[in-house]
Amino acid sequence: MSTRQRPRRTATTIASVLAVSLLLAGCAGGGDDAANVQASDEGCDGDELTLTQSTTGFLYLPSYIAESAGYYEDEGLDVTIKDLGGGSENVAAVASDSADVALTAYSTIVTSREEGAPVVAIGSVMDQYASNIVISQEAADRAGVTEDSSPEAKIRALKGLKLGITSPGSGTDQLFHYLFEQVGMDADDDAELLPIGSGAPMVAAFRSGQIDGFSLSSPTSDQAAAQGGVMLFDLSSGEYEPLNPFLYIVAVANSRKLEEKSRELTCFSKAIGSALELIQEDPEAAKEAGRAAFEDIDPALYEQAFERNVAAYPETPVIDEGQAEKVIDFVSTFEGGLEKATVETTVNTNLAEAAE
């Protein structure tokens, strides 16, 4: 059984997440040893679990499949799913214990952990940086670029544009900072990054001309491209080699509550593992199971988005620690040296290994 709740925008940023985290640290006392918490061998039986994510998109397809194919129910979970509008909001929800688990960018967990937030990644959901970048045809024409232009030319085409992100500190925000850094630019100085939130507001802002482009996953990026935009970077296909592959979307839990909630989180990991297995072994069945989350989009667009993303999901939810290290290096390019955020402090593989 599961319940879905639609987005509520908040003003949360990484800075406010840090404030929440310090409050929790003061209440909880001591540090955490999340990396060594073991999976539970107890099953679930109607256990309630609150899951948050940024928006409705293909980044979270394994969860939609787990919901519609009955894998959550098979594992004895009663899951409530909430769309919060951005990665920072997801971190805040988990850190404040208002959510049991969130699906969000691992890079956001790295920066949050560096700032003191008690969060840890427990499983992989998406292994490509699948927040695609779309710009208007007018902006592309001004810069003289097409979808086939060189990566450097396409990044430089973003200079001076108003670019939509979900929220400050999110994976979409970090992507622009990273790409600008690759060509010697600064996203804060050479563009205007505007926090828009989830898919529908992003498309509306793009169509109205409030923004010149944005970064977001399918189907929002596909919708904008179909309505006259230019798919500048199809990152879900791994077209930008430095980010292919990339540990992007992970399941995240409160590191201080990991042992207490290991039973529910182990059941959750098993359900996600079943969904990933279906994607790998029977893509057509997976496509059908995921359709319920996207009933409001054109069937042909859904087919296109599924095909664009199907190869981007991992075989299992177990996090590849080498890929985690790559993300930490990625974050270091625009955040400087990291001291607290290491693979050991940001990753627990034990719960997901129970799903194999």
Predicted confidence (pLDDT) per residue in 81-111, tens digit? 999 988 889 999 999 999 999 999 999 999 9
Indicate whether 123 pLDDT > 80: yes
Taking the CA of residue 50 as centre, how many other CA atoms within 13 Å lie in the half-sphere pointing to its CB? 13
Predicted confidence (pLDDT) per residue in 23-67, tens digit? 544 444 334 678 788 888 899 999 999 999 998 999 999 999 999
Q: The whole model's pTM is what?
A: 0.89
Q: C-alpha distances in angstroms, 350 versus 72, 74, 171, 340? A: 19, 21, 25, 21
**Separation of alpha carbons 234 and 147, rounded Å:** 9
pLDDT at 110: 96
Indicate whether 156 pLDDT > 90: yes
Confidence grade of residue 11 (pLDDT, cut at 50, 70, 90): very low
Instruction: Specify the CATH architecture of the domain 132-243.
Output: 3-Layer(aba) Sandwich (3.40)
**Separation of alpha carbons 165 and 224, rounded Å:** 14
pLDDT at 16: 52
Predicted confidence (pLDDT) per residue in 232-249, tens digit? 999 999 999 999 999 999
Prior bond of 245 cis (ω within 30°): yes
Query: What fold, for 2-128+247-353?
Result: D-Maltodextrin-Binding Protein; domain 2 (3.40.190)
Residues of the chain with CATH 3.40.190.10: 2-128+247-353, 132-243
**Residue 280 parent element (H or E):** helix 262-281
Q: C-alpha distances in angstroms, 264 versus 42, 43, 261? A: 9, 8, 6
**Residue 108 parent element (H or E):** helix 106-114
